[in-house]
Amino acid sequence: MAVIWQQFLSSFQFDSYFPLLAEVGVILTLMTALAAWNYIKENKFWYYILTLVYLLSTLIVILTNDWFFFLFAWEMVTLATTFMLAWSDWKLVRQYFVIQFSGSSILLFGALAANAFGYSKIGVIDSVPLQFILIMGIGMKSGLFLFHFWLPPIHSEAPAPVSAILSGWVVKLGYIFLLKIIPVETGNTFLFLLGLAMIVYAGWQALRSADLKIMLAYSTVSQLGLIALAIGTGGKYAFYGAVLQIIAHGFAKTTLFISSGIWQKEYGSRIIYEFKDALSRRPITAAATILSYASLGAVVFTAGYNSKYLIKSAQTAGLLSTIVFFLLGLLSFLYAGRVLYWIFIKDQDYSSFFEDLKQGFNHYQIYSHDVLALLIGMLGIIVVGFWPEMPGNVLAALVEKDFHLLVGFRDTTIYLGIAAYLFYNHSGFKVEARGNLSLENYLQLFLNFFYGLSRRSVRFDTEKIFETFFYNAIFNASQRLHNFVYQDFTIQLLWIPIFLTVLLLWQQIYSYF
Amino acid sequence: MDIRILLLILVPLGTAFLIPFIDLINAKLRRFFVLLGILLESYLIISIIINNFQQLKNGEFFLQYYLGGWHPPLGITLAMDALSLVFAVITALSLFLIVIYSIGYIGHHEGKYYVLYFLIAAASMGAILTADMFNIYVFIEMLTITSGALIGFKRTQEASAAAIKYLIYNVLAGLLFFLGVLIIYFNLGTLNMADISQNFASLESGIQLFISAIFLTAILIKMGIFPFLFWLPKSYDTAPSPVTAVLSGVLSKVYIYIFIRIFWTVIGFETLEALNLNVLLLDLALLSSFFGHVFALQSNNIKRLLGYSSIGHIGMITAVIMLNTEAGFYGGLLHIISHMFMKAGLFVACGYLLQYTRSHAYRDFKGVGIRNRSVFIAFIALLLSMIGMPPLLGFASKWYVLMAFLEARSYFGAFIVIFGSLTAVIYYLRYIAKGFEEVKLTEDDLKEEIYSRPLLSVLYREKIVSFITYAYTAIIVGFGLGFRFFDLPLRMSIESLMNVERYIELVLGG
């Protein structure tokens, strides 16, 4: 035990930007813990125990360089967050557990392969196939493209503080791991392409959602794509951009999910079309929402602008990359701006704004814990926005970096013009709210497609999908094998002479191979 | 000469024969007597460890006892090296826990039960300690007959059928083993293991092959590797829970020990390699593991399911030992220890959980978790350990097994380990979900409940039974965090296992 403890202590590494990331993780967890104080009503003690376990294990995941402790701590993160979902629905716990378990088995395989190839500590890995396996391994946990399918349903159905944890920090752990293993000089082209696909696809999905939390979940995938793209690009500034993006998105998304919990309690709904008089009802929450969305949309002087500028500047200069990144920026600005447009501008009546504000007409008595959490989030966004080198010059290389704020200002103005034109002419891209978004529905869609191929329409009881399809297929297949092997007793006994004969003739049989 | 290794066999044997006389005096005294016997056994083991601790640390631990003062190769020798010490310790610990469990669980025919139980204890200790081929055969037969009687202990139709099937298989295996011993004796003129080992290479290769084949068949039948796995699930299902825990936790491990003893010490692994049998055995064991896990998927009976999963794990252990590398032995022995505690704990927990259900079937498992919440949580922890969740002992041992397979570049083996974990998730989750399902009793259910069968086992002392379940869970969790504790004993036993010449020298020369 003493030996393992010594190994554990000596495996910590406090170099480059990982301690900074660990600190941000602690602050974000603190925010969610504040927000949860009034949100979680039952079994509060256990919730905070789980939060503590989660916090300690994330620190280990970020700081250790030993494969075993890394995997162990990540499993603990998974377990803690899995059980946090129980405050919403046990069904989610089951789904999330199965998904994370399959993800961690791929990761385990990758870690073992890396170990077998001689990388005994977590560090830069030069072999491209090994990088590929490890990227696949974190793919399921961190929602890379095509493995992200579980993320919107689960992040949108979780309780608001848990969504904030999951979306704000847990999915980032995979990218922090990638920061350690992908070489700075070369990057990884596959990761770059995955990131591009994630930004475009999830951005498009976020643009056409009516439900606030689903929109937030999709925008998470889109912003994670930016991180993946930055790490895939390679180069010093791209990696700094990825770090800043992790921090900026962490603050913005945590604040947004906490405020989404408040909006949900205020209006009793998550559909953004129904939010009226938001500014006068909940001024501080509204300010936090506006600032965070501005950060997501990369408005100048926010955290998001700095990170996106760094990532943009790390690309090879040229007309194509300028146009592509201009369009990507426009997409994120559009989906962020659209929500603000619906909540604060479209069909709003500001004629009696000050009277309403004084009267304090609202449905939900906000608590000081919630306000404090939101203020911390806003402070984080502003600090990272104005001092990208971080307090205390932690990222010293960024002190000299010119962020071209004028260009950013120009771009923001152009985006604003385009967005205003589009929203005004297309009535804010109003779409129907999606029906119940859940993994079961995905399975149902898949099965309908599958059975549709044979032109038979079969209706399934989705509650029993696991029982009917998944299990019965396995059950019947294995039962066939069982019945084939288990003949009656005489034949079972016949195996003894057969086996003896095979053993005695084994030399001859072996020589045939 | 150390009398304590003889006493390790004699104490349980004496307990078994004295129990009927104790019954004549007072039946209630029996429980204390049983406890006394097992405590004495534990005391012997602990005193052996403490007195020889320095030698253990230096890696020179070796004890032996000549029966009747006859030195080898003439007389029977009992020998204890580090490997047998490790097996003796874990066997004694398991037997100790299960005896306490039986005091709470077995409510009828207690006298017969304890006689048979202590005969098993004596025979397994004897099989671990003896250094004589014929003696090992005697102890194997003793194990077969007593465990056969215990499998049929419930005296229902299925139990008797299973016991008869078990006996047919295992008596055939014993016959083959006896044939092997005879051939060895006629060719070499000796029965001492060390002596045989010294002279085995001088035999003709045809005779070598025949002896190896016969022993292999006999021991594979006993262990339940693929072509001979048919007797295993049925007998695990029908035996009372503590007996199943002994069958799966102790007996299969004793047979693995005999397997290691015969094929490394007596016959020698080089012989197997020269006959190319190691490749066949490795793949056969892995195939058996695969079959075990696949059959477990289709099982609608929780105890049978655990039996199939035992087949899977024992196949895996055999395969990883067949690699004949240091890492392989390390993983294999660690998994033997962890599987011993996990499976015994699971069967023990099953005995508690299935006390009021109509049968062991899947549909009757409904609501079990709601009725006995805390034991069910312990049950789930043990299941998670079987799957290989990180903080538990099962993870550590599976990790080493996996590393051993990867180190030996045996990718089929590595696949089987991961496949086993994944299928285990599927088949265990199903039962966990069923355990938490609400029971809605209808009129028909009640009627069936009342008229189908009388309640066979209503627990005698419920607290002891649940306590032993928690004890197993605590072992799994505690050693899961501190699995490095096994580092020294495992390294010790691997050293004594790999160093056959030293064993021969000590037995013959000492």
- Token readout for A75 is 């499993």
A513, pLDDT greater than 90: no
Q: Are B418 and A105 a contacting pair at CB < 8 A?
A: yes
Q: Which amino acid is located at A233 in the chain?
A: T
Mean pLDDT of chain A: 87
DSSP calls for B272-333: HHHTTHHHHHHHHHHHHHHHHHHHHHT--BHHHHHHHHHHHHHHHHHHHHHT-SHHHHHHHH
DSSP 3-state assignment of A433? coil
- Token readout for A383 is 């600090």
Q: With contact defined as beta carbons under 8 Å apart, do A504 and B209 qualify?
A: yes
Dist. CA A222–CA A202, nearest whole Å: 5
Distances (CA, A) of A346 to A271, A343, B468: 14, 7, 67
At residue B454, the pLDDT reads 45
At residue A459, the pLDDT reads 58
Q: Which amino acid is located at A83 in the chain?
A: F
Q: With contact defined as beta carbons under 8 Å apart, do A482 and B298 qualify?
A: yes
Dist. CA A48–CA B116, nearest whole Å: 52
Q: Are B298 and A482 a contacting pair at CB < 8 A?
A: yes
Give B403's contacts in chain A (Cβ within 8 Å).
Answer: 112, 115
DSSP 3-state assignment of B459? coil
Q: Are B165 and A481 a contacting pair at CB < 8 A?
A: no
* Residues whose CB falls within 8 Å of the CB of residue A322, separated by 6 or more in sequence, listed in order: none
Dist. CA A361–CA A355, nearest whole Å: 10
Q: Are A507 and B275 a contacting pair at CB < 8 A?
A: yes
Give A476's contacts in chain B (Cβ within 8 Å).
Answer: 298
B130 forms beta bridges with B78
Nearest chain B alpha carbon to A475: B298
pLDDT by residue for chain B (510 residues), tens digit each? 788 999 999 999 999 999 999 888 887 888 889 999 999 999 999 999 999 988 888 888 888 899 888 887 788 889 998 999 999 999 999 999 999 999 888 877 888 999 999 999 999 999 999 999 999 999 999 999 999 999 998 888 989 999 999 999 999 999 999 999 999 999 998 899 988 998 888 998 889 999 999 999 999 999 989 888 889 998 999 998 999 999 999 999 999 999 999 999 999 899 889 888 898 999 999 999 999 999 998 888 999 999 999 999 999 999 999 999 999 999 999 999 999 999 999 999 998 888 777 788 888 888 888 888 899 999 999 999 999 888 899 999 999 999 999 999 889 999 999 999 999 998 898 888 888 888 777 777 777 666 655 444 455 678 888 899 999 999 999 998 988 888 988 998 998 888 888 888 888 875
Dist. CA A101–CA B389, nearest whole Å: 10
DSSP calls for B464-508: HHHHHHHHHHHHHHHHHHTGGGGHHHHHHHHHHHH-HHHHHHHHH
Distances (CA, A) of B456 to A217, A368, B107: 55, 61, 10
Distances (CA, A) of B18 to B31, B37, B108, B249: 12, 10, 19, 26
Mean pLDDT of A150-157: 88
Dist. CA B320–CA B340, nearest whole Å: 16
Q: How far is A154 from chain B (nearest CA, A)?
A: 20
At residue B368, the pLDDT reads 86
Nearest chain A alpha carbon to B172: A496
Nearest CB among A72, A115, A492 relative to B230 is that of A492
Residue A463 confidence class, pLDDT cut points 50, 70, 90: low
Q: With contact defined as beta carbons under 8 Å apart, do A39 and A62 qualify?
A: no
- Rounded to the nearest 5°, which phi and psi values hold at B132? -135, 130
Mean pLDDT of A347-356: 81
Residue pairs between chains A and B whose CB atoms are closer than 8 Å: 91
Dist. CA A294–CA A332, nearest whole Å: 10
Percent pLDDT > 90 in chain A is 35
Distances (CA, A) of B283 to B110, B111, B309, B325, B409: 43, 44, 18, 16, 14
Indicate the number of domains in chain B.
1
Q: Which amino acid is located at A389 in the chain?
A: E
How far is C-alpha B311 from the geometric centre of its chain's CA atoms? 12
Mean pLDDT of A116-130: 87
Give A76's contacts in chain B (Cβ within 8 Å).
Answer: 390-391
Q: With contact defined as beta carbons under 8 Å apart, do B179 and B185 qualify?
A: no
Is A105 touching B (CB cutoff 8 A)?
yes
Tell me if the bond preceding B73 is cis, omega within 30° of 0.
Answer: yes
* pLDDT tens, position by position, A361-406: 777 778 888 899 999 999 999 998 888 888 777 788 888 888 888 8
Q: How far is B88 from chain A (nearest CA, A)?
A: 24
Nearest chain B alpha carbon to A479: B298
Is A486 touching B (CB cutoff 8 A)?
yes
Dist. CA B477–CA B483, nearest whole Å: 10
Residue A467 confidence class, pLDDT cut points 50, 70, 90: low
Dist. CA A134–CA B203, nearest whole Å: 53
- Return the half-sphere exposure (C-beta side, CA atoms, 13 A cut-off) of residue B199: 13
Q: How far apart are the two ends of chain A, measured CA to CA in Å?
A: 48
Q: How far is A468 from chain B (nearest CA, A)?
A: 13
Dist. CA A34–CA A258, nearest whole Å: 10
Dist. CA A203–CA A3, nearest whole Å: 49
Alpha-helix residue ranges (DSSP H) falling in A341-387 = 353-359, 368-386
Q: What is the 3-state secondary structure (H, E, C) of B165-197?
A: HHHHHHHHHHHHHHHHHHHHHHHHCCCEHHHHH
The range of the structural domain enclosing residue B256 comes to 3-509
* pLDDT tens, position by position, A404-444: 888 888 989 999 999 999 888 888 788 887 766 778 778 77
DSSP code of residue B436: T
- Token readout for B344 is 């015994």
Dist. CA A166–CA B365, nearest whole Å: 35
Dist. CA A100–CA A166, nearest whole Å: 12
Nearest chain B alpha carbon to A98: B425
Q: How far is B333 from chain A (nearest CA, A)?
A: 20
- Return the half-sphere exposure (C-beta side, CA atoms, 13 A cut-off) of residue A147: 21
Residue A332 confidence class, pLDDT cut points 50, 70, 90: very high
Dist. CA B143–CA B218, nearest whole Å: 14
Residue A458 confidence class, pLDDT cut points 50, 70, 90: low
At residue A486, the pLDDT reads 84
Hey, of A6, A492, A498, which one would you mutate to test binding to chain B, going by the most B CBs within 10 A of its CB?
A492
Nearest chain A alpha carbon to B207: A504
Q: Are B298 and A479 a contacting pair at CB < 8 A?
A: yes
Q: With contact defined as beta carbons under 8 Å apart, do B413 and B320 qualify?
A: yes
A297, pLDDT greater than 50: yes
Q: Are B214 and A500 a contacting pair at CB < 8 A?
A: yes
